[in-house]
Amino acid sequence: MLAERYGPSASQRLVESVVSLGAMGRRAWLALLGIAVGCAAVVALLNVGHSAEVQSRQVFQGMGSELLVATLQHDVEVPSAAQSLQLSVFSPQLIAAAPLAMAPVEVRLGNISGPLMVAGSTPALAAVLKLAAAQGRLLSEYDAQSPYLLLGATAAQQLQASVGDQVQLGHYLFEVIGILGPLGYNPMLPVAVDDGVLIPLPGMRRLSSAPQISAVVALGRDPQSLPAAAGELADYLCRQLPGTEVEVQVPQQLLDGMASQARLFRWLLAGLGGIALLVGGVGVMNVMLMSVTERRREIGVRTALGARPMDIAWLFLLEAVILASGGAVLGALVGLLAAWLFAWLSGWVFDLDPWSLPLGMFSALLIGIFFGLQPALAAAQLQPVVALRDE
């Protein structure tokens, strides 16, 4: 029992290590700052990568996880298909599908004019894109032959339009029956709804002599069946429009690919932070080796008075652990502040990566122990006679 209690207590070892670090002065602070910089780099870069992933998801969340977009490339010899394509629900995996025929048109309301993208479609487009009217109403199946239009939120603001106004599209007048609420940017859609004009599909004949359907958008029932629904949609369109090349895009696949790339990018950033942490660990090792060299006489005296090699090793290892712990805490705080500041300057919403703090602080502690172990073992292996002989 007495042999087990031999040597200093844990609290005594801790106090001696703190006193020894205090005697080092600025060198100890520089070693601590080296670990702090590395830990801050890991925490900051992980959070920046995570916030970038969250931001990209917010930008593309308007795509809709059940949306399908089919792009049509018509053969020049194929006649106009704007009136012949029938898109009743042909698959149990689709809720609705709507064609899109588009043309850039000069739009005028009073003294305000400008080019806008006009899209002709069916009432099913509202179900597919979840459109809602901020003013007035949406297009219905009874408006197919009527000169009615819907204005996107931005387009209505640009034209200073309201429900009931007469808007000139090309050489024809159309009545505004509704103004859409903001939909948001969706890069997968061939038309920016907020900046455009929606009219009944047959009305495109007033603006173009041979309107062509250039895209079909469809809404699936669930994300899991989208690949099968995309295949059915492509087959159906190829049968309906012979000689037309059909390419169906699934935004959910793009979102999954973006998430995978964002995770890879985040771990690459973490690797860069790890390199900075290794540099900080080398600094701790350098300081500890210098400390061992300068305190050889102290080590000899301690050994001569009965200190075991294990006691000497613990003394120096605890010093490295204290440096690493202080650097981990300081680095975590600085890293969080740096990541928040970067997100704020970038206009992002800061989102804390739950793995950043434990990963950054734990890796800093491991680096401190790893690089402090060799100096501690070197100090423990010093022979008392050799250590006391040094001047």
**Confidence (pTM):** 0.59
What's the chain's average pLDDT? 80
- Asked whether the beta carbons of 44 and 342 are under 8 A apart, the reply is yes
For 213-270, write each residue's pLDDT tens digit: 888 888 888 777 788 888 888 888 888 877 788 888 877 667 677 777 777 777 777 7
For residue 158, being part of any structural domain is answered with yes
DSSP 166: E
Which pLDDT band, with edges at 50, 70 and 90, does 168 fall under?
A: very high
For 81-130, write each residue's pLDDT tens digit: 444 566 665 677 888 888 999 989 999 998 988 899 999 999 999 988 88
Domain count, the chain: 2
Residue at which a domain ends, from 242, 268, 288: 242
For residue 1, being part of any structural domain is answered with no
For residue 106, being part of any structural domain is answered with yes
For residue 325, being part of any structural domain is answered with yes
For position 213, what pLDDT does the model report?
A: 86
List CB contacts of 10: < 8 A, sequence separation 6 or more: none
Answer yes or no: do 236 and 260 share one domain: no
For residue 156, being part of any structural domain is answered with yes
Answer yes or no: do 275 and 381 share one domain: yes
Which pLDDT band, with edges at 50, 70 and 90, does 79 fall under?
A: very low
Residue at which a domain ends, from 179, 208, 242: 242
Answer yes or no: do 184 and 115 share one domain: yes
- Asked whether the beta carbons of 72 and 248 are under 8 A apart, the reply is no
What is the C-alpha to C-alpha distance for residues 291 and 316, in angstroms, rounded to an integer?
9
- Exposure class string for 271-292: b at 16+ Cβ within 10 A, else e: eebbebbeebbebbbbbbbebb
Answer yes or no: do 45 and 109 share one domain: no
For position 82, what pLDDT does the model report?
A: 44
For position 81, what pLDDT does the model report?
A: 46
Average pLDDT over residues 343-359: 85
For position 46, what pLDDT does the model report?
A: 85
Answer yes or no: do 222 and 109 share one domain: yes
Is 200 a residue whose pLDDT tops 90? yes
For residue 107, being part of any structural domain is answered with yes
Percent residues over pLDDT 90 in the chain: 18
Is 47 a residue whose pLDDT tops 60? yes
SS3 109: strand
Choice among 25-39, 52-66, 118-132 with the minimum mean pLDDT: 52-66
For position 242, what pLDDT does the model report?
A: 79
Answer yes or no: do 90 and 233 share one domain: yes
For 289-331, write each residue's pLDDT tens digit: 777 777 777 777 777 666 777 777 777 788 888 888 888 899 8
Is 197 a residue whose pLDDT tops 90? yes
Answer yes or no: do 187 and 267 share one domain: no
For position 384, what pLDDT does the model report?
A: 62
For 364-389, write each residue's pLDDT tens digit: 888 888 887 877 777 777 666 555 56
Task: Return the structure tokens found at 289.
Answer: 């080796």
Structural domain including 126 reads 79-242
Percent residues over pLDDT 70 in the chain: 82
- Asked whether the beta carbons of 192 and 167 are under 8 A apart, the reply is no
More confident residue, 193 or 286: 193
More confident residue, 266 or 337: 337
Residue at which a domain ends, from 217, 242, 267: 242
Answer yes or no: do 104 and 229 share one domain: yes
For position 266, what pLDDT does the model report?
A: 73
Answer yes or no: do 185 and 291 share one domain: no
For residue 349, being part of any structural domain is answered with yes
Answer yes or no: do 208 and 135 share one domain: yes
Answer yes or no: do 262 and 234 share one domain: no
For residue 67, being part of any structural domain is answered with no
More confident residue, 99 or 211: 99
Answer yes or no: do 205 and 157 share one domain: yes
